[in-house]
Amino acid sequence: MSVIAAVLAAFGGLVTAVGSVWMGYMKARSDTQAAKGSRIDIMEARLDKLQVDLDAERSRRSDAETLAHRLRLGLITAMNHLDALIRWADGGSPPPPPTAPDLKAIKSLIED
């Protein structure tokens, strides 16, 4: 009987040891997954910040390109009017003078 009790005690100890090793392995695996998850969360936060910065930069660039285009159109309008005035003055200034462009729109581009 003592042999059976010893075998059962050894088997119980072996099961406990294997269970403890298994639980330790699972805990280490769980901790590793949690660490990976927190790193992924940090990376996602960085990506979100970069996306916000990129959207803001795109918006600023688009606004600057639009303003540059409008300024170019205003300059072309002013140059065309100046050219018409020069031709009118060189031609002896006969009435009527050339029509003036809308300078308020051009001035508003400069004031912005």
Determine the average pLDDT of the residues in 40-68.
95
Percent of the chain with pLDDT over 70: 98
What is the Cβ-side half-sphere exposure of residue 82, based on CA atoms within 13 angstroms? 7
pTM for this prediction: 0.59
Own/partner pairs for 75-84, CB < 8 Å, 24+ apart? 77/101, 77/106, 78/106
What pLDDT score does 29 carry? 87
pLDDT tops 70 at residue 77? yes
Amino acid identity of 5?
A: A
- Over residues 1-51, the pLDDT tens digits come to 688 888 888 888 888 888 888 888 888 888 888 888 888 889 999 999 999
Domain ranges in the chain are 3-109
What pLDDT score does 68 carry? 94
